[in-house]
Amino acid sequence: MKKITLLILLLSSFVTFGQVNLDFEDGTTTVQFTFNGVGAANVANSQMNTDNMSSRVLEVTKPAGAEWFSGCGFQSVAGTPFVSMADGDQFTVKIWSSKANVPFRVRLQTDLDAVANTAYNYDFVITTANQWVEYTLDFSGVVNGTEQYREIVIQPDFDPACEGGGCGPIAVGGTYLIDDFVQVTPTVDPNTDATLSDLTVNGTTVTGFSPNTFTYNVELPNGSGVPTVAGTASQAGSGASNVSITQASMLPDAATLNVTAPDGIATQLYTVNFTEAPALPPAAPTPTVPAISIISDVYTNISTPQVDVFGGSLTNLDLNGDMNEEARLITGGSGFQFNYFPGSAFVDISAPDMMHLDIYCDNIADGDVLRIRLLGSDTSIANIARVTLNSAQSGTWVGVDLAIPDGTNRNDFGDIDSGATSIDVTDLALIQINTLDLGSTLAGKDVYLSNIYFYGGTLSTPEFNAASFKTYPNPTRDAWNVVTDNVTINAIEVYDISGRQVITMNPNVARVTIDGTYLKSGIYFAKISTDSGASSIKLVKN
């Protein structure tokens, strides 16, 4: 077999198989897309000989009249890399061409459909017709070994000179058989190997570690302190590489690991850049009124089929260490929405008449606005409330109470939307929280939200002042004592975090002991009913 090599390997190296290995022998493997006149199919090998004994190959046809830039390609599902350059920056491929002296391009690209598409091209020429030739494609000069790509594009009869314009469709068509497209990695001489086989921070391997990735960015939890970095040389034992470490001295800072190969000459530097996450706000206030809860640490939240983020990110947070979500952090973007459309699981908010939410931001500016939109099942109608904040509210939880639409009037949700009709409150379909608003700077900040719930109206019961009774010890290992200020406790109902009732009592006294010895460790909620009303408290069992 004639073999043309388009790069020079070190004499001491050999190749090992990497991630991509396309041999088409299963009869089903083929390209995921074609464009501008090219055809492609998995076919029987019509040119089987000693140069290539495969039974099946990929046939690519580029007929006369096809655009000069036309081609085909392989593509993984969105969000999943098809090629990781950490597995090798070189590829071998066998090609049979019906024409000689044909320019050929193989292209790696992140995603042509994305806003930003990083791509690298490898151009070569098929000089021989009607013969299997193996080519080696070397991308090491244009990538640094850390990239991941979703697509491999093959463009036969592609002349790079045409990229400046002026080329029309090709005049003479061609047929190309492609086989054994394999990603390969040169293995270096162990004596010159200055890589690491492991890199840890505080004893845990760094996320995304690869021996061929030399720079890492690590964000540490707020208050975690300066970390300790360690590295294990790939060449361990006798004649091992030497690893010299300079630890970070503060946050933010960088740690470096300088690896010297066994030959004492070859070196490689690994760098870990550390930053510290912003401090979390204090625990959000605890609600004490009955509610249809969306986000709460006290009430059982109603099921939300889908949460959509408008750019940026949305993080669920436990601020008080009780292992229960009580807040969400909006970072970047323009907000998010609770979406009840999947399965048409609409929410009936006709019973309450108020909506509550708590907002926290460290650097609120005067005039910053949080916008809340309620949309019914007919999403052409939206009722919108704009909550205007000021700088004095920075660094503290800000409670907001809004009168919700009642089916006729918009109440506090009458701003901006110019339509005359209020939403159908029996079929709430979307709750949108937007940080982006004209004249507001909130969209560029970290915004925390907690205690989003609907209350009041016919949903409410008289509220019993939580300050008029005491609960101790809390947390407890066995029992809680509930003592009121000369008010008779008629009933106590205790629920676990899934909403299942685990204790019910009708004491009719002012002092009660709730026996929790048989309960599992965790969070519970108690509804305490008295002649003066009802209130809810959170109970913690250690």
Span 236-287, pLDDT tens digits: 765 566 899 999 999 999 999 999 998 889 999 999 999 988 777 777 666 6
User: In this structure, which amino acid lies at residue 470?
Assistant: K
Q: How far is CA 485 from CA 279, 338, 513, 532, in A?
A: 39, 41, 15, 11
Q: Decide if 14-187 and 292-459 have a common fold.
A: yes
The string of DSSP letters for 476-513 reads BSSEEEEEESS--EEEEEEEETTS-EEEEE---BSEEE
Task: For residue 475, say if its preceding peptide bond is cis, omega within 30 degrees of 0.
Answer: yes
CB 42 within 8 A of CB 71: no
In the predicted structure, residue 333 carries a pLDDT above the cut 80: yes
- 348-383, pLDDT tens digit by residue? 888 888 899 999 999 999 999 999 999 888 777 788
pLDDT (0 to 100) of residue 113: 60
The string of DSSP letters for 312-349 reads SEEEEE-SSSSSS--EEEEESSSEEEEE-TGGG--B--
- pTM score: 0.47
Over residues 371-397, mean pLDDT: 88
- What is the homologous superfamily of the domain 466-541 according to CATH? Macroglobulin (MG2) domain (2.60.40.1930)
pLDDT, the chain, mean: 84
The pair of structure tokens assigned to 524 is: 């519970």
pLDDT (0 to 100) of residue 15: 32
In the predicted structure, residue 124 carries a pLDDT above the cut 50: yes
CATH topology of domain 14-187: Jelly Rolls (2.60.120)
More confidently predicted of 21 and 458: 21
pLDDT (0 to 100) of residue 285: 67
Over residues 430-435, mean pLDDT: 93
In the predicted structure, residue 13 carries a pLDDT above the cut 60: no
pLDDT (0 to 100) of residue 10: 28
pLDDT (0 to 100) of residue 290: 62
- Rg of the chain (C-alpha set): 33
- Dihedral over Cα of 63, 65, 68, 70: its sign: negative
Domain boundaries, the chain: 14-187, 190-276, 292-459, 466-541
Q: What is the 3-state secondary structure of 205-253?
A: ECCCCCCCCCEEEEEECCCCCCCCEEEEECCCCCCCCEEEEECCCCCCE
CATH topology of domain 292-459: Jelly Rolls (2.60.120)
Over residues 173-184, mean pLDDT: 95
**Phi then psi for 459, rounded to 5 degrees?**
-75, -25
* Long-range CB contacts (within 8 A, 24+) of 279-282: 279/222, 279/223, 280/222, 280/317, 280/319, 281/319, 281/327, 281/360, 281/362, 281/395, 281/397, 281/448, 282/319, 282/397
In the predicted structure, residue 542 carries a pLDDT above the cut 70: yes
The SS3 assignment for 534 reads strand
CATH topology of domain 190-276: Immunoglobulin-like (2.60.40)
